[in-house]
């Protein structure tokens, strides 16, 4: 029977070695190649608002301003600028409303954080309510509690049963 814990220990080590081996194999794989120029241009164009259209991206617009922005984005991607640099250029030229997805900082962070946080709190609240309904608190009634109830009932019956009790006086005052 003493060999049982030793076997468990061996299996634990075998599983641990396998998990670490798989993790190292996945981590060492080359992964996804960086996006090409055309892919980056399409991705950036999809996140830039057309200044002369209502609520659509420059990728979906055929307006002359959208075409000019697409050309500027393509030229800047080919020049080796990062997405952040291109966004900064567009914001400096057209204002912050040019971006369909505004940057998350300061006051705008609440716009992104509050809805998921409220949803999570609501779900936790619902889970607590349902759990409490399934598992009501156990109340134990002691002899002291029974004595207090008996006293209160006796006092009530003596007041109402005496004929001129407080209940009758209150009813007569109305």
Residue 9 has pLDDT above 80, yes or no: no
Average pLDDT score over residue span 83-104: 86
Q: Comparing 63 with 31, which gets the higher pLDDT?
A: 63
Q: How confident is the model at residue 21 (pLDDT cuts 50, 70, 90)?
A: confident
Residue corresponding to tokens 């003596």: 158
Cβ contact 59:42 at 8 Å: yes
**pLDDT at residue number 113:** 84
Q: How confident is the model over 38-49, as pLDDT tens digits?
A: 888 899 999 899
In order of start, what are the domains of the chain with their CATH numbers? Answer: 37-98 (1.10.8.640), 143-173 (no CATH)
Residue 100 has pLDDT above 70, yes or no: yes
Average pLDDT score over residue span 124-146: 90
**pLDDT at residue number 29:** 67
Q: How confident is the model at residue 104 (pLDDT cuts 50, 70, 90)?
A: low
Average pLDDT score over residue span 76-86: 91
């Amino acid at each position: 029977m003493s060999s049982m814990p030793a076997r468990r220990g061996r299996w634990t080590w075998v599983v641990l070695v396998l998990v670490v081996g798989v993790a190292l194999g996945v981590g060492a794989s080359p992964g996804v190649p960086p996006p090409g120029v055309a892919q980056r241009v399409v991705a950036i164009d999809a996140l830039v608002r057309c200044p002369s259209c209502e609520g659509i991206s420059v990728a979906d617009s055929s307006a002359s301003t959208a075409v000019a922005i697409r050309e500027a984005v393509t030229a800047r991607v080919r020049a080796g600028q990062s997405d952040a640099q291109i966004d900064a250029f567009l914001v400096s030229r057209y204002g912050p409303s040019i971006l369909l997805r505004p940057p998350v900082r300061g006051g705008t962070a609440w716009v992104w954080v509050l809805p998921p946080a409220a949803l999570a709190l609501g779900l936790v609240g619902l889970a607590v309510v349902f759990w409490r309904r399934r598992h009501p608190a156990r109340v134990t009634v002691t002899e002291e509690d029974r004595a207090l109830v008996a006293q209160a009932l006796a006092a009530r019956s003596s007041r109402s049963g005496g004929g001129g009790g407080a209940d009758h006086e209150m009813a007569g005052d109305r």
